[in-house]
Structure 1
Amino acid sequence: HPQSEACLAWNDPIVGIEWPLPTGVQPNMNAKDAAGLNWDKAPKF
């Protein structure tokens, strides 16, 4: 159900995942994932 889909931002500071990316490199992702919400704005189920 597309209207119910949500995506968490890959670099959300609250979640704090330290991705193993070289300095200055951004991950390659699709538009939907790039528009992910921060934890404080994401819907919680």
Structure 2
Amino acid sequence: MYVPLQPVLALVTGILILLVPRLLNYLVAIYLIVIGVLGLMHK
């Protein structure tokens, strides 16, 4: 079963931001880095 990674990361990040708002900067930075790396790997 294939689960697309990007929507799962977005969902987890959104839930964590709601639970712990002070993590917002770190979570957004990590999310952007992960999406950037995945984007580079698929090309």
- Tell me which interval the TM-score lies in, with the shorter structure as reference length: under 0.3
Q: TM-score if structure 2 supplies the norm length?
A: 0.25
Q: Give me the TM-score of the superposition, normalised by structure 1.
A: 0.25
| Greater RCO structure (CA 8 Å; 6+ sep) | 1
Q: Which has the higher helix share?
A: 2
